[in-house]
Amino acid sequence: MALAGCADQSPSAGGGVSKPVGSHKIGVLLPLSGPNAGLGHELLAGAQLAVGTNASTDPTGLQLDVHDTAAAGGASGAATAAVSAGDGLLLGPLTSGDTAVAAPAAQSAGIPVLAFTSDISQARSGVWIMGITPEDQVQRLVEQARQDGRRKFAALLPNNPLGHALGNGLQSACHDQGLAAPTIVYHSGTAASISQSLRDISNYDTRLQAAKGSSSEPAPYTPDATTADADAAKTADKLPSNLAAALGTDGSSPAPTDAPKADTPKLEAPPFDALLLGDTGLNLRNVIVALNETQINLPSVRIMGPGLWAAFATKLGAIKGAWYAAPDPSSRQAFVTRFMAVNHHMPKPLADLSYDAANVAKTVAQSGVSGYPANVLTRSDGFSGVNGPFTLLPDGRVRRALGVFEVIGGGSPAKMQSAPAKASAISG
């Protein structure tokens, strides 16, 4: 969900929304046939729940105009049909690739788009990215870490789309919040690459030399990659079943807590006081081993990671005290109750996005303005969402009020370190 269709790109067409269409009709662009039909209908149900069953008789003209992006013509054809139908706002499409081909027709017609992708590269004036992005998570983490007194940020990230999204987010967050540029390294995924990258970024050899009080240069660290990876895989085979399921491995022993070798003296703090990680699975285990080897831990360094950690936070005791940013689960309960009453099953997480987007349309339409003007969509007080309040920014980004969770481990769920501002209750 977090990285749907990252590879498909297209240039921005036009300069955004300059002449809003006066209609309050809502064009909905979703895959309603083909392999993603089930997901498309789930998102449609979320939008319908927000708009209500009496939309067709709404005095503001609020109604849903639904188009199948999996039909002939694809997302581009669906967007063109919605424009021809006089829709004033588009909800969707689902993926980054579909957003890239659908947005130009909408922008040319002055129709804003609330897309369900979380690919931040698709954000632009008039096209908002409704997905909870890695960049948004990092902004929230940096904000909380800065309040905690952290000023020097670094990142050890996988060389993949998620890693680069997190890295870009860290650069933006530090810039936006008046902090020094972070130090970011990307590893190749092997245990040797992870270990050496962390040694480099933490100045491990210099710190070790200082601790030993030696003037001689220590030999560079050159682990046997094959042996290291084999040992890591062997240990991974003993992970607890719940963690194994989340990480894609299997086994029965606790997560690693490898300590530094007995002959390694206590080292001074590394040149950063907050470290962003982006790994899961076996690579996260290898990162944890490297953290212990290089003595990177609290209180000198706050470890931070992606919201994906929420799925197995109870098993991350080896990095107790680490933070991740995610929606507050308690904020979602009112939506879940209403959705189940109408649709008789638990909503999938993506239905949250379609509800939020349709709620934006409903709120703007009921404010008495004509159409969906950009200055109203980007109002400073934002909108109420399933997972908390959110604000549409002029550049197409969406800033969400995420909570910061602290890993406890030992089978305990992560605790809320800092809760987001509460949104108003989901109304009936």
At how many degrees (to 10) do helices 96-108 and 74-84 cross?
Answer: 30
Dist CA 342 CA 58 (whole Å): 20
Per-residue confidence (pLDDT) for residue 328, from 0 to 100: 86
Q: Are β-strands 403-406 and 323-326 bridged in parallel, bridged antiparallel, or unpaired?
A: antiparallel
Contacts with 355 (C-beta within 8 Å, 6 or more apart), sequence order: 46, 47, 49, 50, 335, 339, 385, 386
Per residue in 104-132, pLDDT (tens digit) is 999 999 999 999 999 999 999 999 999 99
> 0.85 cut: is pTM over it?
no
| pLDDT at position 53 | 67
Q: List, in order, residues 6 or more apart from 22 with CB less than 8 Å away.
A: 88, 370, 371
User: Tokens 């105009």 correspond to what residue?
Assistant: 65
Length of the chain (residues): 428
Residue 114, beta-bridge partner list: 91, 128
pLDDT score, position 257: 46
- Ranges of the chain whose pLDDT falls below 50: 1-19, 214-219, 221-258, 422-428
Nearest-angstrom CA–CA distance, 202 and 216? 19
Sorted by where each starts, the structural domains of the chain and their CATH numbers stand as: 25-132+330-396 (3.40.50.2300), 134-210+267-326+406-418 (3.40.50.2300)
* Residue 116, SS3 per DSSP: coil
Instruction: Give the pLDDT confidence score for residue 18 in this predicted structure.
Output: 40
Dump pLDDT digits (tens) for 246-270: 333 333 334 444 455 556 789 999 9
